[in-house]
Amino acid sequence: MTPPREPARASASPRAWPSRAAPARPWRPRATLARPRRAAARLAGSRAAATVARVATALGLASIGLVAAPAPAYATNYTTISGSGSSWAAIAINQWIANIHSSGLVVNYNPDGSGAGRGEYINNQDDFAGSDPPFRNGTDELAGTGREVVNYGYSYIPDVAGGTAFMYHIEKGGHLVTNLRLSPATIMKIFTGQIKNWDDPAITHDYGARLPNLPIVPVIRSDYSGATFFLTRWMSHRFPSQWNAFCRRLIPHVRLPCPQTELIQPFGNAKAENGSNNVAAYITSSFANGAIGYDEYAYALNSHYPVVKVLNPGGYYVLPTASNVAVALTRAVINENSHSVNFLQQNLDHVYTYKDPRSYPLSSYSYFIVPRSPHPPPIFGSPAGKGKSLSTFINYMLCDGQRHVDQLGYSPLPVNLVRGGFLQDAHIPGHGPIPSLSTLPKCHNPTFINGQNILLKTAPFPSPCDKLGAPLNCVVKHGKATTPGGGSPTAGPSASASASAGATIGGGPLPGQGAAPAPTGPVTGVVVNLAANGGSNRAVLGVLTAAGILLAVALPPALAAWLRRRRGQAHG
């Protein structure tokens, strides 16, 4: 496994992590910046790998019709652009890259983590970055990093919404458990080392049955990760005292209150993996029985592995589906001051406590970081034409690119963030045409028509079998949850409910697969109701996207080695 690529930081250097195969070793400081020649080789290798992964993804997605969305036609000649960063949003980004390739626009993207992407933008190595958090403006003692100093102009543009999901691997009697449900307090205790075995009474209480006597293996990220940022932000806001105590166990003299972080030090039985792909690969491996990790829902869907139903403040266990994420994000507070450096950034505090029974608590947005006039990074000026290319890509991303993100495990952007994205797009040096912000003509984003909000009047409620207190082995009778053959029914949110929650261990539905339609009802805010896609398409998508993921993971080291040999021959 290649070591994580590290961003430039203003304070202490990042630290090396133990690999999965090697015994744990002490933290060792490393240099923040490589020598220019080594940095150039690394960048070339990563871009070549990103190109191969993009081609593989394009071939796979084309075979199932997901590249049918029209590509932009603003121009015929484009300059190639390159970016890196968020792996949380990478499956959607690679989809858009594959879609737009037929127009002649080539975009290279390396999903090496949010922190690395921001660092490469700071160091003038990429044309744009993908990041889930904004540039860090303070010291992160857990990650050993300081404030990020950015000497170039930049803007934030939202790219996609989604839910941070908890993919797991638990086997009982040779069968995979697929219907796990947990409360936020239990999840917090798992990822801070307080609950260490799957037969813990707290898990039994949440789940409704006893799981095997099996050690829990929390799978965390070893790179600077937006997924870690989202998880720790949620934990620090929902459970501040427990989070502070955990921070003190990791770093005895850490200043309190302990903030969210992009990097958690290994603890207890935790395994640290570099990047979303490796987290998913570890959890789904044959030797990982007992593992649980966190990342965007798309990685679980593409791996065909289950995720935890999380108990929300409304009293229901819910999945991070497109509609549940969209409902939750109606409570996100967006910075709408277009003159602020943090324009369009999100405050998720009210998302965590929203009591709508459909809301998924760990919902959020991801962002592009793009050059801004009058001081873009020098790399953006050569060769000429990058502004038009990046602007065209963003125009596609904000509109047609949102049409199929639900099939990948994400949720599309609402109209206010699309309008804000175009406002930022207009500050990119050399940008392409910007549509009318009042009507957004020909913008086929599924959340609005001709610039007018489509307020979701109906959004699916969870099944009565997902209500807190409903039996694990559950069916719905007359709109109420009960055990098969009788029992005391538990009322759900609507008498018209008609789905079973999926009953016994190993017999529950996989992510995104429900037994029947759920009831619907009104919701306030800009959200989107997306029909569930067919299981056969998802299966094909999973196989093909997994192939792209494997290429992205395996090829960078080989390509980097090849480039080093070529340089050695050239200088020999």
Q: Which residue has the tokens 């050239």?
A: 570
306 vs 32, more confident: 306
E strands along 309-460, which residues?
A: 309-311, 317-318, 333-334, 346-347, 363-371, 448-449, 452-453, 459-460
- As a whole number, the mean pLDDT across the chain is 79
Please give the pLDDT value at position 71: 52
Q: Is the pLDDT of residue 525 over 90?
A: no
Beta-bridged to residue 168, according to DSSP, are: 292
State the pLDDT confidence band at 55, using cuts at 50, 70 and 90.
very low
Please give the pLDDT value at position 454: 59
7 vs 27, more confident: 7
Q: Is residue 231 part of a domain?
A: no
- CA-wise closest residue to 82 among 93, 95, 66: 93
Q: Is residue 469 part of a domain?
A: yes
- Pairwise CA distance, residues 547 & 545, whole Å: 5
Q: How far is CA 367 from the centre of its chain?
A: 11
Asked whether 382 and 372 are in contact (CB, 8 A), the reply is no
| Share above pLDDT 90 across residues of the chain, in percent, rounded to a whole number | 61
- CA-wise closest residue to 212 among 237, 180, 256, 247: 180
Sign of CA dihedral 36, 40, 41, 45: positive
State the pLDDT confidence band at 442, using cuts at 50, 70 and 90.
confident
Q: Both tokens of residue 124? A: 């003038």
Q: Tens digits of per-residue pLDDT, 99-121?
A: 999 999 999 999 999 999 999 99
Beta-carbon contacts of residue 380 (< 8 Å; ≥ 6 apart): 127, 371, 386, 387, 429
- Pairwise CA distance, residues 424 & 392, whole Å: 13
- CA-wise closest residue to 223 among 369, 116, 365, 93: 116
- Pairwise CA distance, residues 108 & 100, whole Å: 12
The SS3 call for residue 347 is: strand
Residue 22: how many other CB atoms lie within 10 Å: 9
Domain residue limits at 508: 456-524
E strands along 63-177, which residues?
A: 81-85, 107-110, 128-131, 154-169, 171-172, 175-176
Asked whether 112 and 88 are in contact (CB, 8 A), the reply is no
- Pairwise CA distance, residues 278 & 103, whole Å: 32
Residue 118: how many other CB atoms lie within 10 Å: 30
Q: Is the pLDDT of residue 429 over 70?
A: yes
Which segment of 148-152, 199-203, 325-329 scores lowest on mean pLDDT?
A: 325-329
Q: Tens digits of per-residue pLDDT, 368-398?
A: 999 999 999 999 999 999 999 999 999 999 9
Q: Tens digits of per-residue pLDDT, 336-365?
A: 999 999 999 999 999 999 999 999 999 999
Q: Is residue 475 part of a domain?
A: yes
Residue 222: how many other CB atoms lie within 10 Å: 27
Q: Is the pLDDT of residue 244 over 60?
A: yes
First-residue to last-residue Cα distance in the chain: 29
Q: Tens digits of per-residue pLDDT, 57-77?
A: 443 343 333 444 555 544 468
Q: Is residue 19 part of a domain?
A: no
DSSP designation for 71: P
Which segment of 4-8, 214-218, 228-232, 455-459 scores lowest on mean pLDDT?
A: 4-8
Q: Is residue 83 part of a domain?
A: no
* Separation in Å, CA 246 to CA 145, 183, 222: 19, 19, 18
Asked whether 390 and 96 are in contact (CB, 8 A), the reply is no
Q: Is residue 494 part of a domain?
A: yes
DSSP designation for 127: S
Q: How far is CA 263 from the centre of its chain?
A: 15
Q: Is residue 451 part of a domain?
A: no
- Pairwise CA distance, residues 418 & 397, whole Å: 10
Radius of gyration over every alpha carbon of the chain, rounded to an integer in angstroms: 23
Q: Tens digits of per-residue pLDDT, 274-293?
A: 999 999 999 999 999 999 99
Q: Is the pLDDT of residue 518 over 70?
A: no
Q: Both tokens of residue 385? A: 């034409």
Task: Find the helix packing angle between 90-100 and 36-62, rounded to 10°.
Answer: 70
- CA-wise closest residue to 271 among 194, 193, 161: 193
State the pLDDT confidence band at 52, using cuts at 50, 70 and 90.
very low
* Separation in Å, CA 551 to CA 19, 106, 556: 20, 18, 9
Q: Specify the number of domains making up the chain.
A: 1
State the pLDDT confidence band at 456, using cuts at 50, 70 and 90.
low
Please give the pLDDT value at position 447: 80
Stretch 178-201: mean pLDDT, rounded? 98
Stretch 2-23: mean pLDDT, rounded? 36
Please give the pLDDT value at position 405: 94
Please give the pLDDT value at position 362: 98
- Pairwise CA distance, residues 501 & 317, whole Å: 10
DSSP designation for 411: B
- CA-wise closest residue to 303 among 538, 86, 546, 536: 546
Angle at CA of residue 513, ends 511 and 517, nearest 5°: 130
Q: Both tokens of residue 216? A: 């829990």
- Pairwise CA distance, residues 495 & 478, whole Å: 7
